[in-house]
Amino acid sequence: MAMASSSTKAIFSSSPVTPSPSSHLSQKPPSLLSFLHSTATATATSTPISVKLSHSRSTSQVVVNSVLKTVTSPETSVPNYKTQDLNYPRPTILVSEKLGEAGLEVLRSFGDVECLYGLSPDELCSKISSCDALIVRSGTKVSRQVFEASKGRLKVVGRAGVGIDNVDLQAATEFGCLVVNAPTANTVAAAEHGIALLTAMARNVAQADASMKAGKWLRSKYVGVSLVGKTLAIMGFGKVGSEVARRAKGLGMHVIAHDPYAPADRARALGVELVAFNQAISTADFISLHMPLTPATSKVFNDEAFANMKKGVRLINVARGGVIDEDALVRALNSGIVAQAALDVFTEEPPPADSKLVQCENVTVTPHLGASTKEAQEGVAIEIAEAVVGALKGELSATAVNAPMVPPEVVSELSPYVVLAEKLGRLAVQLVAGGSGIKSVRVVYKSARDPDDLDTRLLRAMVTKGIIEPISASFVNLVNADFTAKQKGLRISEERVLVDSSPEFPVDSIQVIISDVESKFASALSDNNGDISIEGKVKFGIPHLTRVGSFPVDVSLEGNLILCRQVDQPGMIGQVGNILGEQNVNVSFMSVGRTVLRTKAIMAIGVDEEPDKETLEKIGKVAAIEEFVFLKL
Ligand SMILES: NC(=O)C1=CN([C@@H]2O[C@H](COP(=O)(O)OP(=O)(O)OC[C@H]3O[C@@H](n4cnc5c(N)ncnc54)[C@H](O)[C@@H]3O)[C@@H](O)[C@H]2O)C=CC1
Ligand SMILES: O=C(O)C(=O)COP(=O)(O)O
C-alpha cells in the first residue's frame, strides 16, 4: 500500500493496491456518536484489508481495483444504536417527568422507554447506570452525582424545554455527556403565560376570584390598573421576551428592553428600545423577566435593584425564581416599592408551604405553568425526542448545549480527516519519552481553503483524544476534549497554512507537533527546532503517515507500526521482514524515506500483529538499525 512520492520509495506491500479515488466515497462517514462515544481505530489485516471505521457495525464492501476491501466498524466501547441493528440492544431512555405522548412515541420507536416520575435524587442515581439517555423537564436535578453514578453509560440528557439550569453542564461536559434542549416549542406558551400574569395581576383576577369563592363581593377592593400607555421593561429580550413585547405592544403599552446581547435591529423591528439595566428598572411601570438563570443573573433583582425601581412597580417572572432575591422582594412588597408581583417560578420548587411570597396578598402565583399548554408540551416532546434519538444515532443536534454544533455536511466531509487526526495524536504521544509531561501541542492544517471555510473543531478534538487517551484513563470525546486538555495542562494550538492544492478537499495535510519533550525515537524530532513532528494525509479516504521528523514516509495508518532509522543500504527490508516473518508477524505495509542517499533512512513497517519483545529485540540488533520504536495505532 505504500505509495512512492518524489522523495519516498514504495518498497513492499502485501496487497499492492492503488485505491481508486472513489473508494472513500463508498465508506459511510463516522457519525457524531463516534466522535462522542467511541474510539476510532484502524486495523490492517492481510488482504483483504480491513479498515475499521467507527460509525456502525454494518460491513460494506468496496471494490478497489479488483481487490476486495472490507470496510467494517471497530468494536466500539459503546454501541451505535440503530433500530435495524440486531447485534446491539436497544438503548434505554429514562423519562423522569411527564412528556407529551407524541414524543414518547418517537422514543419508543427507537429505544426502550421507561417513564419514572418523581424519583428521589438517590433513586435517580441508582437507576441511571442502566440508561443511555435521560429526558427531564425543570423538576429533575441532573447533578454531578447523576453523571458520576451513570459510570459513563449516559450519553445524552434531553431537556424538554428551554432552561438548562437544573442540569450540571460542567459535569456533563467533563463526563462527555451531550446535553440537548428544546428551545423553541414552548416560546409562545411562556409568552402567553407572561401576558396572562400581567393582565391578571393588573386586574386582581386571582384575588377577586378567590374572594368570590369565599362568598365575598368586593368591587372596590379590587380596582385595578390600566395597561395602555404604561411602560413595560422586558428584562431579557430573547425568544420569550420578544414575544411578550409583541403582545404588550398590541395592548398599547410602551415597551423597552434590557438585554446586553440582543441585536438592536431585532428590537427596532418590534418598536422596542434597548436600554441599560438601571434605566429599564427605574422607568418601568411593569417589569417582566425573561433572562436565563446563570451565575451572572442570579439574584440580580436584589435590594439594590428594588431601591432603584419606581415606587409602585409591578413585577412578572416567568423566567427563573433564582434571578430574584426572594427575601428582598418580600421587603420591597412590604415597603410598597413593588405594588404587586406575579410569579410562575421560584428559587425552590415547589416553594415551602410557609413561603411569604406565596402567602402575600399582592402576589399572584402559578406553579411553573409557563410551558404548560397542550400545544407546547406536544411540541417540546417531539422536539426533544427527535434531538435525543438523533444524538443516540450519532447525528448532529442543532440544539446541543455543551458541544460545538458542526453541520452534518462538514462532519461528512471531515470524517476521514477525523480518523487521521486521532491517529496522528495517538502516534505522536507514543513518540514522547515517558509519554507524559506534554504541555504544548501544535496542530498545523495545510489546506487550499480559506481559513473561514475550514471548521477544525472536530479535528482538534480528535487530536486531543489521540494524545490523551493512550496516557491516561480519561475518556475524551467532542464534548469534553477541550475541557480535558485544559484540565491536564495541555495547550493545543492550531495553525492554518494555505497551500496550493485542490480546494475540493478540506485539508491537504495535518501536522502534529509536540514541543519541549524528549523523544524515544530521535528521528521524529524535526531538524529545525527539535520538536516531535509527524504529518499525515488522507489518501483515497485512508489516513496515511507522510512525514516523521524530517523524513518523508508513506504508510497507511492502520494496525501497528514499527519505525526504524537505519543506515540507508541494500538488504534492510529483507532482514527485518525475515525477523518478523519468522515470528509469524504479518507485514501490511512498508515504506522507506531518506534524507541523504546511502546515509540515513527511516523504514516504516505496518504490522498486523504485535511482535513480542524478543522479536523487537532482534530487530534492534540488526547492525545498520540505529533506533526503532513500536507504535500502536
Ligand atoms: N416559566 C416557564 O415555564 C418557562 C420559562 N422559560 C424561561 O424563560 C427564559 C427565557 O427563555 P427564552 O426566551 O426561550 O431564552 P432565550 O435564550 O431566547 O432568551 C434569553 C435572553 O436573555 C438574555 N440575557 C442573558 N443574560 C442577560 C442579562 N444578564 N440581562 C438581560 N438579558 C440577558 C439573552 O441575551 C437572551 O436574549 C429562560 O430562563 C427559560 O428557562 C422558558 C420557557 C417556559
Ligand atoms: O422551558 C423552560 O425553561 C421551562 O421553564 C419549562 O419548564 P417545564 O418543562 O414546564 O418544567
Ligand 2 atom closest to Cα of 372? 10
CA nearest ligand 1 atom 29, residue: 297
Whether the Cβ atoms of residue 159 and residue 362 lie closer than 8 Å to each other:
no
Which is the closest atom of ligand 2 to the Cα of 345? 5
Distance of CA 98 from the midpoint of ligand 1 (Å): 22
Residues 479 and 172 sit within 8 Å (Cβ to Cβ)? yes
**What is the number of the ligand closest to the CA of 135?**
2
Q: Is the distance from the beta carbon of residue 239 to the nearest atom of ligand 1 less than 6 Å?
A: yes
Q: How far is the CA of 29 from the centre of ligand 1 (A)?
A: 37
Ligand 1 close to Cβ of residue 290 (< 6 A)? yes
> Which DSSP category does 208 fall into?
H
Of 37, 320, 544, 594, the active-site residue reads: 320
Give me the residue label for grid cell 435524587: 121
User: Does ligand 1 lie within 6 Å of residue 137's CB atom?
Assistant: no
Give the pLDDT of residue 22: 31
Ligand nearest the Cα atom of residue 99: 2
How is residue 553 annotated by DSSP?
E
Please give the grid coordinates belonging to residue 200: 391578571
CA dihedral 523, 524, 527, 528 (to 10 degrees): -160
Highest mean pLDDT out of 373-387, 389-403, 612-626: 373-387
Give tens-digit pLDDT for 270-306: 999 999 999 999 999 999 999 999 999 999 999 999 9
Helix (H) or strand (E) holding 513: strand 509-514
Which of the pair, 473 or 310, is modelled with greater confidence?
310
Please identify which of the residues 254, 368, 547, 565 carries the catalytic annotation. Answer: 368
Query: Which residue is closest in CA terms to ligand 1's atom 35?
Result: 261
Mean pLDDT rounded to a whole number for the chain: 84
Residue 442's DSSP bridge partners are 493, 513
Tell me: the pLDDT tens digits for 74-129? 322 333 433 334 445 799 999 999 999 999 999 999 999 999 999 999 999 999 99
Rounded Cα distance, 331 and 323, in Å: 16
The most distant pair of C-alpha atoms in the chain lies apart, rounded to whole Å, by: 109
* Sign of the alpha-carbon dihedral angle for 282, 286, 288, 293: positive
Closest ligand 2 atom to the C-alpha of 164?
A: 3
Choose which residue among 117, 159, 162 to substitute to test ligand 2 binding: the one with the highest number of ligand atoms within 8 A of its C-beta.
162
pTM above 0.80, yes or no: no
Q: Is 37 one of the annotated active-site residues of the chain?
A: no
Cell numbers for 499: 497551500
For 579-589, write each residue's pLDDT tens digit: 988 888 888 88
- What letters, b where the CB count within 10 A reaches 16 and e where it falls short, cover 358-381? eebebbbbbebbbbbbeebbbbbb
Least distant ligand from the CA of 100: 2
The closest alpha carbon to 423, from 460, 481, 467, belongs to 467
558 tagged catalytic: no
Q: Which three cell numbers stand for residue 169?
A: 453542564
H/E run at residue 330 = helix 326-335
One-letter amino acid of 555:
V
**Mean pLDDT across 195-208:** 98
Residue of 34, 36, 31, 30 lying closest to 402 (CA atoms): 36
